Structure 1
Amino acid sequence: MTAPLEVSGSAAEAQPEAVLSGMESKTIEGRSLGRIAWIRFKRDKVAVAGGIVVVLLVLLAVLSKPIEWVFGLDPNALHQNLIDPVLLRPKGALGGISWAHPLGIEPQFGRDLLSRIIEGSWVSLAVAFGATVLSNIIGMVLGVVAGFYGGWVDTLISRLMDIFLAFPLLLFAIAISASLQGGAFGLHGLPLHISVLIFVIGFFNWPYMGRIIRGQTLSLREREFVDAARSLGARGPFILFKELLPNLVAPIIVYSTLLIPTNILFEAGLSFLGVGIEPPQASWGGMLNQAVDLYQADPMFMVIPGMAIFITVLAFNLLGDGLRDALDPRNN
């Protein structure tokens, strides 16, 4: 009879049974795709900084009215006593900057710049978010339908995208906004102007989202989970809205964060041209329009709203770049 094989202490420690015996009580915790994306996003400090600025800007826009009420700010109040009657510029060398007016006051009119920046924030973000939502809804539906069905449906929707992309949007927006200044659809004043801007910007910008969704859908429709849904008897609408759209959330979120600053710039451009938000309602583009005539009196009147637009657009772009990298499954 063969003698049993002796095993040294170091060899015994290397046996699989001995190694695994201490692991029985421990469980391996899996990580969802959302958690993995969040970990990646937190590593990008620049994107996190952009996200913090975006959150602060949104809170400022949402709470603009309560802030004005709590601190007694009136964006349309005139402070003629602080204006030099001869030079029509703020008295003093600092452009009227004081504890009561931290950013100074307007030349000629004497309105507080800080309160007008706060008031203009909700106008710009309301138009940008509203137009982005409208363009996303149209672009998502038409893009996923074109990519999934293909054939003449894809051809028709793709040519429709080409027509909208070739349309002179700026000229059409100027014409529409100028023709509806008085009133239309039962709306007047600020609600009308905001609704018109949201419609014009959102309705004619949907092809950008539509093209991205169409390209993603062309790739996803060949995946195994779509074939599995078909084999179980799922029809086209079910596959579109239950199988494909949930997998398109990442590109939709990323492109939305990049489309919002574009819409902010477009609204500011229309207001700068005088066909957007009408004064005396404060808007960042309208403040730049007024600053052109008053630039010699006080250059800071142009710098302050310009910096507000610059910081907002930069923050959204940094956030969008970070989300794109975090949600990309090819990144490790």
Structure 2
Amino acid sequence: MTAPIETTGAAAEAQPEAVLKGVPAQRIEGRSLGRIALLRFRRDKVAVAGAIVVILLVVLAAFSRPLQALLGLDPDSPHQDLIDANTTLPKAGFGGMSAAHPLGVDPKFGRDLLARIIEGSWVSLLVAFGATMLSVAIGTVLGVVAGFYRGRVDAFISRMMDVFLAFPLLLFAIAISASLQGGAFGMEGLPLHICVLIFVIGFFNWPYMGRIVRAQTLSLREREFVDAARGMGARGPFILFRELLPNLVGPIIVYSTLLIPSNILFEAALSFLGVGIQPPQASWGGMLNQAVKYYEVDPQYMIVPGLAIFVTVLAFNLLGDGLRDALDPRSR
């Protein structure tokens, strides 16, 4: 049944009262850009699964010590009764797996792998998040300044990015980490190792963020809202922090989520090479380093930390891809 039409001259127009007759009155609410992005993100089931895993990992890392106390786990407690004195390998099961040790125990010392995975989670995530925040802070500031002011400022910052990208980062990180193992800046032990890793990884990775922010700023500075701000008498700092930076939040968040897994892998690589987190403190890369000696006779010791790194990196990558599609659907 069609709505009644009122004809006036040559024009025919449906009356609003007729079109909406019988439809309950509802308040029409607008959707913010953030809400629209959230709805897009929720439609991506793979990204949502990655976000759930990331949240669980963050909660696990934040409450690792209380969780170990609740479960009665000790990452440094040896169980020599589970180790064969002749072969220094677990006596029974695949890698010493049992009801008391569901992920098995490490060779030689018999330490519970579940406890060491939980203990190593906060170390890996703390280093990754700290290094990412440092890279984002430096790269965002220098990138937006270079893209907005251009000219000599842009040339200087861009050449500085090229210099940092030309460094053999892994060799440089190994040299710095190895030289500061004993003590420096009034710190020693685990706090020193964590701070050194955050500085080395974060400080030498900022050019990647800087290039992305610079490219986005070059595009945004030509938009009408920047011209309007200039026409109203706004100066450079105001335009930078009140006009440009809010419009850069999306790309910064997306790239940050993609930078975290690479930093997790970098920390694991340094710990694997023996210049990162030092034993007996548990770390996923350190566990892989120790597992190299036993991978042929006890592969369980390598599989467990390897899967922990794989699942963590995959979850962050899926989350980053989902956020990119949600915040910038035209990039798909």
TM over 0.5: yes
Aligned-partner SS, 1:182: coil
CA contact (8 A) 1:107 1:297 kept: no
- Report the Cα offset of residue 255 of structure 1: 0.2
Q: Using the alignment, how far apart are the partners of 1:197 and 1:96 within structure 2?
A: 33
Written as runs of structure 1 = structure 2, the 5 A alignment for 1:106-145 is 106-145=106-145
Work out the CA distance in 1 between the residues paired with 2:249 and 2:241. 12
3-state SS of paired residue (2:330): coil
Q: In the alignment, is residue 19 of structure 1 matched against residue 25 of structure 2?
A: no
Deviation at 1:173, TM superposition (A): 0.6
- For 1:25 and 1:308, the matched residues in 2 are separated by 53
By how many angstroms is 1:222 displaced? 0.5
Paired residues of 1:117 and 1:284 also in contact (CA < 8 A): yes
Deviation at 1:10, TM superposition (A): 4.3
The one-letter amino acid paired with 1:16 is Q
After TM superposition, the structure 1 = structure 2 runs for residues 295-306 of structure 1, keeping only pairs within 5 Å, are: 295-306=295-306
**1:13-46 Cα distance to aligned partner (Å, 9 max, x none):** 9741433675894432111101110111011111
Q: Which residue of 2 aligns with 1:174?
A: 174
The answer to whether the Cα contact below 8 Å between 2:274 and 2:289 also exists between their aligned partners in 1 is: yes
Matched-pair contact (CA < 8 Å) for 2:277–2:283: yes
Deviation at 1:294, TM superposition (A): 1.8
1:100 Cα deviation after fit: 1.2
Question: Take 1:88 and 1:329, find their aligned partners in 2: how far apart are those partners?
Answer: 55
Q: Does structure 2 retain, via aligned residues, the 8 Å contact 1:88–1:297?
A: no
Task: Give the Cα–Cα distance (whole angstroms) in 2 for the partners of residues 24 and 51 of structure 1.
Answer: 38
Equivalent position of 1:42 in the other structure: 42
Question: 1:166 Cα shift?
Answer: 0.5
SS in structure 2 of the partner of residue 122 of structure 1: helix
Q: Which residue of 1 aligns with 2:86?
A: 86
CA distance in 1, matches of 2:207, 2:131: 13
In the aligned structure 1, how far is the partner of 2:302 from the partner of 2:258?
Answer: 25
Which amino acid in the other structure matches residue 98 of structure 1? S
> Which deviates further from its counterpart, 12-21 or 165-174?
12-21
Is 1:33 aligned to residue 30 of structure 2? no
Give me the TM-score of the superposition, normalised by structure 1. 0.94
- Alpha-carbon offset, residue 322 of structure 1: 0.4
> Which letter does structure 1 place at the counterpart of 2:215?
G
> Which one is further off, 126-135 or 78-87?
78-87
User: 1 CA distance for matches of 2:264 and 2:162?
Assistant: 24
RMSD: 1.8
Partner of 2:158: 158
Shift, 1:142, TM fit: 0.1
Contact kept? 2:94, 2:300, Cα under 8 Å: no
Aligned to 2:10: none
Alignment of structure 1 residues 232-251 onto 2, 5 Å? 232-251=232-251
Contact 2:6 2:15 in 1 (8 A): no
1:183 aligns with 183
Identical amino acids, percent of aligned pairs: 73
CA contact 1:12–1:18 (8 Å) conserved in 2: no
| Distance change (3 Å), C-alpha of 1:175 and 1:24 | same
Cα distance, 1:11 vs structure 2:
3.9
Correspondence for 1:276: 276
> SS of 2:248's equivalent?
helix
Aligned residues: 325
CA contact (8 A) 1:77 1:111 kept: yes
Whichever residue aligns with residue 308 of structure 2, its letter is: A
- Counterpart of 2:254 in structure 1 is 254
Give the C-alpha shift of residue 177 in structure 1: 0.6
Q: CA separation in 2, counterparts of 1:209 and 1:24?
A: 50
C-alpha spacing 1:258/1:21, structure 2 compared with 1 (3 Å): closer
Deviation at 1:261, TM superposition (A): 0.3
Correspondence for 1:309:
309
Q: CA separation of 1:254/1:17 partners in 2, compared to 1, >3 Å: closer, same or farther?
A: closer
Letter of the 1:79 partner, please give it: H
- Deviation string 1:172-220 (CA, Å, 9 cap, x unpaired) is 1101111111100011100000000000000000000000000000000
Q: Which amino acid aligns with 2:257?
A: T
Post-superposition Cα deviations, 1:229-274, rounded to whole Å, max 9, x if no partner, equal 1111111001001110000000000000000000000000000000
Amino acid in structure 2 at the alignment position of 1:180 = L
- 303-312 or 87-96, which moves further after superposition? 87-96
CA offset at residue 93 of structure 1?
2.9
1:101 matched to 2:104: no
- Give the Cα separation in 2 of the matches to 1:331 and 1:317: 16
* Higher mean C-alpha displacement, 14-23 vs 83-92: 14-23
- Aligned equivalents of 2:222 and 2:18: distance in 1? 44
